[in-house]
Amino acid sequence: MSSAELKQRLLQVIGSIPKGRVSTYGDIARMAGAPNHARFVGTLLKNLPTGSKIPWQRVINSKGEIAFPAGSDNWIRQQQRLLAEGVVLTGGKVSLRQYRWQP
DNA sequence: CAAATGACGTAGC
DNA sequence: TGCTACGCCATTT
Comparing A24 with A51, the larger pLDDT belongs to: A24
CATH code linked to domain A3-98: 1.10.10.10
Q: Which nucleotides of C are covered by protein (CB under 7 A)?
A: 7-12
Burial of A10 (0-12, 13-18, 19+ CB in 10 A): buried
Q: How does pLDDT run across A25-84, given as a tens digit for each residue?
A: 999 999 999 999 999 999 999 999 999 999 999 999 999 999 999 999 999 999 999 999
Locate the domains of chain A by residue range: 3-98
Q: Please name the nucleotide lying closest to A45, CA to C1'.
A: B7
**pLDDT score at A43:** 97
Contact assessment for residue A88 and residue A80, using Cβ atoms and an 8 Å cutoff: no
Q: How far is CA A24 from CA A1, A61, A69, in A?
A: 22, 5, 17
Please report, rounded to whole angstroms, the spatial distance between the CA atom of protein residue A61 and the C1' atom of nucleotide B9. 9
Decide if pLDDT at A18 tops 90.
yes
SS3 A61: coil
> pLDDT at position A75, please?
97
Q: Kindly indicate the confidence band of residue A103, based on its pLDDT and cuts at 50, 70 and 90.
A: confident
